[in-house]
Structure 1
Amino acid sequence: MATGSVPSVRSRINQLAAVFIVPALLIVIGLLVFDYHQARAKLIDHHITTARAMTSLVDKDFASVEATLRALATSPAIADNDLQRFYEQAQEMLSGQIENIVLSDPQGNQVFNTLRPFGAALPPFNTPATRQLLSDRKEAVVSGLFTGKVSMRPMISITVPVWRDNRHVYNLSAGISPWRLNTLLSQQQLPDDWITAILDENNVIVSRTHEMSRFMGRSAAPNLGNALATNNEGYFYGSTSEGVSVLGIYSRSPATKWSVAIGLPTSSLNAALWRQVGWLALGAIVLFALSLAFARTIAKRLARSVTGLIEPALALGEGEKIVMPALDLREADEVGKALTRASRMLEIARYQANHDVLTGLANRGLFQELVNSQLALAGRNGTHVAVLFIDLDGFKEVNDTYGHAAGDDLLYQASTRLRASVRESDVVARLGGDEFAVMLISVLPDKAEALAQNLLETVSAEYDIAGKVATVSASIGVACYPESGATMQELLFAADTAMYKAKQAGKRQVILAQAAHATAD
């Protein structure tokens, strides 16, 4: 056989490489095309989520204004028909979020408008459609974009009906500038070439990231309007009002029917996607070039990365907190991150299971566990433990007068005062409602009673609740180990009983529980 006709080792290797690499490259090309479409679909889903989140922010902004109006509507001044005082209270509620507040009767006649002095002549406020909505239901109504008859500027209004004895007596409205929503858009820090808009329920542009003054008050582009008429959220390919070709992403709120639309210029979008595909293609070529030389190294690294997950996984199974090192492998790092997230979630779940959500104090279960533990230690060392049962006097009146949000604020402030008034080694807990408990470590009964008296004065000081002064007091029962009981149940019962005696004796006082043998007698 002629030497020239015998294949060389190099040619055989090249042929072998071609046998594997050519089909693999074809597969890679197919995968790249598939990845391109998957990346586009993923990007669309991601930005639909972004639009939905932005719509929720708009709803939240409106809900905040509605909450302010409903709180204002509970003012005794309006119940007493003291409209001058109610006007002054409305002025105090104005902020960067609310430009003006209007009180009108059910027929739409303005009673007062904070843009004008009290008693000034004013034009009608609501449209007949809005008045009908407010008369038919007790929910808030969000207007579309309109030009204020007093301010003479583009405005949005949120209106809540005011009812008294099942009668619709007034409408209370807050005016919001569209530029407020423009600030909300700016806070999202989206790319500069993205065109984002907020539209009212009639698909009128209220706020926009680009040329807002030019397009505010115009109807949405036809392709966006058609898309919103078909689905509450989705995407389309079309043009903006100024003719920019975009991938349009939109989401409409089911509550207010307002929408957020995001226009991603197709030029930059396609460039980014192809750039991503290009990098993937380059990476694939490099990967094939290096795979033969580094196959063994990769196998060793893979084994090392996988085995590196074993110890953290076992630690997680034991309920321990874990910190994952870098494993030099994306998939292993992702699993490691998942294990770390699971560890954090377990830690958070444990905390939430043992603490009150509103105040952050220990809850009843954790308090009882800590008292039992301290009693066992006190039994061995011959030390004392005191349990205080605290019930707020007058809390219901605050709740009824100012609302549940104010009540929650007061409870939080009271818990902060309690926590700041005891030692770090002592334990403060919220048992439920307006009931608190405190465990004092290594204190004698007279000292515990004195500390309880100090807590009483601290809790009974005035509270600032949203600019209003609220006062409550407390009735406190004190039970000491070993004088008033030997177990957690006995101490808590004795302290609870002493607290009720304090209430029966006129409230705002501290009563020390009787010794256990005296109770038995």
Structure 2
Amino acid sequence: MAQAVDAELLKAQAAAQAMATSGYLFSGDFATFYEHATDLLQQTEIGNNFVLSDEMGQQLVNTIRPFPGPLPRHGNPKQLQQVFKTMKPVISDVYVGGALHRPVVSIDVPVFKNGKAIYDLSIGIFPERLGQIPLAQHLPPDWIVSILDTQGVIASRTHATDRFVGKKVVPLLLQRMEVAAEGMVETNTLEGIPVSAVFSRSPRTKWTVAIGIPTQQFTAQLRQRFLLLLVTIVILITVSVVLASILASHLARSIRALIAPAMALGSGASVTVPHIRVREVSDVGSAIKNAFNLLTLHTLAANVYSNISEGVVATNPDGAIVSVNPAYCAITGYSAEELIGANPRIIKSNLHNADFYRGIWETINKHSCWNGEIWNRRKDGSLFLVSETITTIRDGNGRIEHYVGVINDITEAKQAAEFIHHKAYHDPITDLPNRSLFMDRLHQEIIRARRNKLAMALLFIDLDHFKEINDKFGHDVGDDLLKMAATRLAASARESDTVARLGGDEFTAILNDINGKEDAARVAQKMLDEICRPFVIGLHELVISASIGVAIYPTDGDGAASLLKAADEAMYRAKRGGRNAFSFAVAG
């Protein structure tokens, strides 16, 4: 489950980093950024809100508040300072947010411009969203699951959330967490419920998941498991009667002293073994106490093994599967009967080459552990991506007993991250590349053209009279017109070219590997012809035109800024000439 918490936090971090590259931030168009960010949150559910703050901590945008409007200062100034100081993303501990004055966790990332951090962009996650993680594991309803920040403060909890979020866990658990990354402790919850608490801390985010299993759950299972042991004790008592003539009452009393702890063991209660002078009988008493401790741990481990959402598979040293948990079967689509005795290669996807797997085993042989991402294939043939940890288990003599793999299906998380990345670099209305992606491709094409001594063209396209249509018929019709125009413009260029929307009614096109002005003129004229065709939107038949400016690399500019300026000036010259035309840049 710690992996699921990691995935949620790191997915939000990836979204924030993608949004931090938005061209609307660089241009100061916070209104459009607000709309874009709000739309992304609604479509992806990666977090609760985005907050943009300046270096002084003043919030400039907060998607949980109307824009524009008065906003408070950043709710976690120390984290803000750390972002500007380190220039790296920072995952916060639980703190009280400045806008809603309620517990929140935020992931802050720097917004760079020309290599300098100019803003802090954070994505906020409320406890309710983190609380969905343990709910998705379908654990027994009386198990108490807490997600803890790096300080042991409760960020989310399956029981009494409002009462305990923002408070530290019980001292005994906190002390144990300070000395170990994972383990178990017998303690009481904050409500006072006796539990066996298991915990695991993520090595990446340093957050911890703690699961409290009520002690009373062990009673029924222990009664069954120790029935045989209780029978053995009874046999010992019977034997003591037979031997009474030899050992007299002393031995009998010693064995009878074990009846109470044996009964307690069978009922799952705490075991107290009295001091016994006869060594052999005393050894039996010690064995009862040890058995109680070991089997309590075994019961706990079996419960966790059967209920966690991560798939667990164990193999013998030869690679044959000897055990799988229910989650592993659910993830792979194979039954336990199909998997036991097979090799884990049964789910091999064939997407990775031999060197990939050779590298995994070189790491395992050297460090006894490997962690990474692997594409696998389910029984039904579908592909899935997992985050997997493979660990070597050795006996007391150092010999390999088992290899244990723990897998977490991150297919949806990966797809969500790719969707977020796409949304961050594409226009929300037309789905064309936005200003950020356009500028990146323009820089790359200029570098390629310079290296290979090639010519390229930059077209700056403005739709004529679009504003009048937008004002007259409304934004819905205007957006539909933009979508249709974008489709026609993209169809007029080659697949290797880039057609982008900068914003409003402005589009651009990068035409690479052209032979000269004639190639650029042919594409520009085709775009004009396509835009002039009527647009049928609902009951309306709308007619517009376009004005296009054309700049050629390297004749009209040898860099992105100079080419853009030349194409923009040429576009305005086409407008002044009567619109529905293209114009080449004029040197000088």
TM-score with structure 2 length normalisation? 0.42
Indicate the structure with greater strand content. Answer: 2
Query: Which of the pair is proportionally richer in helix?
Result: 1
